[in-house]
Amino acid sequence: MTSVILIGYRCAGKTTVGRALARRLGWGFVDTDEMVEEEAGRDVAALFREEGEESFRRREERAVGRALVLGRHVVALGGGAVTREANRKRLTGAAGLVVFLEAGPEELARRMEAEPGRRPALWRRGGLEEIERLLPARLVHYRSLARRTVGTEGREVEDVAAEIERMVAEERGS
């Protein structure tokens, strides 16, 4: 195993937990949304507004391809990355531990409300309505791709990172 790949809906904690986990493991960290933003020279919300979701997803697909070949990295994928078949194929063949970070719809909505404007609404007004509309289809992919699932609701970041660190040790046979 050369990497840990975190998947899950937006605001599940992938970036925050990913950074903490990378510190604990002494590995690098990469977030595919941040890779897209760096390449495009603007944030995800601006990309959605100016170019649309399809353009963003193409950029994201390239970023996922680059991120998954990095060794000794914790990789946080965007919440919708699993909607693309090419990304699912890459995840299936990835030399890493795929971990689904899970939180309930109400908790995800609460976290989104705490960061207004950070990510674009993907359905009408966004929030709980969006989550209830999009999450069921994504859950199928999150669950089928992940070797492990970790709940993040009501937990401290360091506790979640420590749990995944133990999983990494188990996977390595330590």
d(CA 157, CA 15): 10
Name which of 20-24, 64-68, 72-76, 126-130 the model is least confident about.
126-130
d(CA 173, CA 37): 37
d(CA 7, CA 33): 12
Query: Which domain CATH number covers 35?
Result: 3.40.50.300
Number of domains in the chain: 1
What is the tens place of the pLDDT at every residue in 48-84? 889 988 999 999 999 999 999 998 999 999 999 999 9
Cα dist. 77→8, 117, 142 in Å? Answer: 8, 19, 11
Angle separating helix axes 157-172 and 14-25, nearest 10 degrees: 50
What is the tens place of the pLDDT at every residue in 25-54? 999 999 999 999 999 999 988 888 899 889
Cα dist. 166→80, 143, 149, 158 in Å? Answer: 27, 20, 13, 12
Task: Tell me the DSSP string of 19-50.
Answer: HHHHHHHT-EEEEHHHHHHHHHTS-HHHHHHH
Q: How many helices (H) and strands (E) would you count in the chain?
A: 8, 5
Residue scoring higher pLDDT (123 or 21): 21
- Band the pLDDT of 126: cuts 50, 70, 90: low
pTM attached to this predicted model: 0.92
- Band the pLDDT of 6: cuts 50, 70, 90: very high
Element (H, E) at 62: helix 53-67
Res 115 pLDDT > 90: no
Quote the domain boundaries for residue 105: 3-172
d(CA 3, CA 6): 10
Contact residues for 12 (Cβ-Cβ < 8 A; gap 6+): 79, 101, 102, 103, 108, 152
End-to-end C-alpha distance for the chain, whole angstroms: 12
Q: Determine how β-strand 148-151 pairs with β-strand 28-31.
A: unpaired
- Band the pLDDT of 95: cuts 50, 70, 90: confident
Specify the pLDDT at position 123: 44
Name which of 14-23, 29-38, 77-86, 119-128 the model is least confident about.
119-128
